[in-house]
A and B are shown apart, each in its own frame.
Chain A
């Protein structure tokens, strides 16, 4: 066309750019606040729990209970809230039409969001580890009688949190898909709260091994086979559900 100005120095869209843009959107967002508060709450609980004792608790037990609270309850609830908040960043101001009209592959938008959410969950796991180690030391310093006994197996603790994180991929994928698919908070919250509820009340149920909200806590199972199954289901299942999410959302027409 004549008389028109070409796009100055436009470069082809890259996935890394979409990812950087997603991370940029988290600035000053409630999602980021949640990412800090959720591990902090566990650390606060661990601290006051230690402080009420009169004798030392082994490092192993404290680290295990911190990971258990995380995997059992706080992780599924945090993922529910985090995915809903991240999706609401687009649903609230109705930005999806604008983004989907841009000249970049639509799967980039959703994949960037998924990677960003997984990154935040990984960061929450790391933050939990750091805060837990810190509060145990703090409790021992403030009240020497409760100073943790033994030596902390930090590598083992981080490996456990890593396995819990990998096992949570299916949970993250399911929750993110629902949160992005529906503009309302309600379906994502209802599924997340319902899933966590069943995971808590049916801890020993055999079917729990397949429930996305219970899969992370199965990393703490005494039966190694159950823990391995959970890791496989959570990790591979998560990848499959993420792929299905990208396929469906990229093709979906936004009608609202």
Chain B
């Protein structure tokens, strides 16, 4: 089975700045791939490379098996995109905006009704886009991306600017999308909580490099078990624990002890507790931490910091 999107060593520089640094990513078919990274990490540049809007300095990208460099039009036929700047003509209605793209794609008129229905925008199709709320524009953008039922959807920050209710709506919509349309979704965002609730796979971008990629469930299963410790002597606790070979770190809100994924976390936590108590350190709380995308992301990003690499 061909991956929906595959890149090898994809690189793009702007002068001396390497915006996308030798990214090799694989987006499995029918997955929802969360493309994560903070602002400026290179997500939008990578997406523009995947859409053929920018030329790579090195590497290649394939969309549904079609090489983007040698056959841009062929690859573009496989993709629908929602870009950060939605790009609608405000003086025209939602339907008319969709109709312009439909004509350029050479699709039948019935496609407009279909995508409006999928995006739950049928009731608003005749209104001018200038009168749309931001959430409605995002939905119209999704409808436009789905014109022609492309097998790959690339959505750049689709929840940007939405209120909490709009974000919840969008989340539900995106979660159902592969089942409803059969499409693979590449979803860029910096909202970890949102990605965690919809993504089946993730790729984490930091300083232009892809530092982690895989199925979210597998990555979480492979995470170290973490235990949060609250004590009134955190610095001493760190020293004692490290002397006894424990991996302990002081974060902004607590001490965090990490145990290897295959380690018996309960026994290890009990052993750490015993060591600290024997050293006279009072433990107020010792609680397991959930394996969250946030922790996964933080660990990956921290490991990829330039200082850590040096």
Contact = CB atoms under 8 A, between A and B. Distances in A.
A102 B101 CA distance: 8
B106 A89 contact: no
A92 B91 CA distance: 11
B64 interface: yes
A3 B104 contact: no
20 contacts: A4-B184, A7-B148, A7-B149, A10-B105, A13-B106, A17-B106, A24-B99, A24-B103, A25-B92, A27-B92, A93-B86, A93-B89, A95-B87, A95-B88, A96-B87, A98-B87, A99-B87, A101-B79, A101-B81, A102-B105
Interface stretch (B34-42, B47-55, B187-195, B222-230): B47-55
A7 B77 CA distance: 8
Interface in B261-289: none
Given A97-B83, A98-B87, 5 more contacts: A5-B181, A13-B105, A18-B104, A20-B103, A96-B87
A1 B151 contact: yes
Contacts of A201: none
Nearest to B178: A3
B183 A4 contact: yes
Contact of A5 (B1, B92, B182): B182
A98 B88 CA distance: 9
A194 B42 CA distance: 40
Interface residues of A, number: 41
Q: Which of A21, A25, A89, A98 has the most CB of B within 10 A?
A: A98
Interface in A23-65: 24-25, 27-29
Nearest to B141: A98
A255 B49 CA distance: 12
**Taking chain A's interface residues, is the majority helix, strand, or loop, or is none over half, making it mixed?**
loop
B73 A103 contact: yes
B308 interface: no
A207 B75 CA distance: 50
B150 interface: yes
Q: Which of A13, A102, A254 has the most CB of B within 10 A?
A: A102
B106 A12 contact: yes
Q: Which of A5, A7, A11, A20 has the most CB of B within 10 A?
A: A7
A21 B29 contact: no
Interface in A161-206: none
Contact of B76 (A20, A24, A92, A103): A103
A12 B77 CA distance: 10
A221 B183 CA distance: 64
A105 B72 CA distance: 9
Nearest to A12: B106
Contact of B104 (A2, A13, A27): A13
B89 A253 contact: no
Interface string B1-33: 110100000000000000000000000011000
B164 interface: no
A10 B103 contact: no
B89 A10 contact: no
A154 interface: no
Q: Which of A5, A17, A89 has the most CB of B within 10 A?
A: A5
A198 to B, nearest CB: 34
Contact of A1 (B29, B101, B105): B29
Interface in B124-159: 144, 148-151
B91 A28 contact: yes
A2 to B, nearest CB: 7
B85 interface: yes
A40 B250 CA distance: 76
A84 to B, nearest CB: 16
Contacts of B65: 1
Contacts of B53: 97, 100-101, 253-254
A9 B87 contact: no
Nearest to A14: B106
B77 A10 contact: yes
B90 interface: yes
A150 interface: no
Contact of A102 (B29, B76, B89, B183): B76
- For the complex of A and B, list the 10 residue pairs with the smallest distance between their C-beta atoms, beginning with the closest: A4-B151, A11-B106, A95-B87, A103-B76, A94-B85, A7-B148, A5-B149, A98-B87, A101-B51, A103-B77
A8 B102 CA distance: 11
A225 interface: no
